């Protein structure tokens, strides 16, 4: 998001799990919009409801990226986001 505008949304489906494809999708997203990771002010991650492992992977990835560049991360309820 930039302000109140959603820039892009990616829905991932992978029977083998998300851990092995997630960061490649993040890399492509950054390239498509000509952004660098350091330009992101805050990371948001879906906190469920959803598959337990998928939610854990999502939150861990967001936390890892945020920690790497010293930014905040927030968990967002899927129900509140809708």
What HEC string does the chain produce? Answer: CECCECCCCCCCCCCCCCCCCHHHHHHHHHHHCCCCHHHCCEEEEECCCCCHHHHHHHHHHHHHHHHHHCCEEEEECHHHHC
- State which residues form the domain around 33: 22-81
Is 36 among the domain residues? yes
Is 48 among the domain residues? yes
* CATH number of residue 66's parent domain: 3.30.420.40
How confident is the model at residue 35, as a pLDDT?
Answer: 93
Is 3 among the domain residues? no
Note the pLDDT tens digit of each residue in 64-74. Answer: 999 999 999 99
Is 64 among the domain residues? yes
Tally of structural domains, the chain? 1
Average pLDDT over residues 51-72: 91
Note the pLDDT tens digit of each residue in 5-47. Answer: 888 888 877 888 777 788 999 999 999 999 999 999 999 998 8
pLDDT beyond 90 at 61: yes
How confident is the model at residue 51, as a pLDDT?
Answer: 79
Is 13 among the domain residues? no
């Amino acid at each position: 998001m930039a302000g109140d505008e959603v820039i892009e949304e990616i829905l991932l489906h992978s029977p083998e799990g998300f851990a092995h494809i997630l960061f490649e999708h993040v890399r492509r997203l950054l390239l498509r919009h000509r952004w660098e990771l350091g330009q992101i002010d805050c990371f948001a991650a879906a906190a469920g409801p959803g598959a337990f492992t998928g939610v854990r992977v999502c939150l861990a990835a967001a936390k890892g990226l945020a920690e790497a560049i010293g930014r905040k991360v927030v968990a967002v309820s899927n129900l509140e986001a809708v």
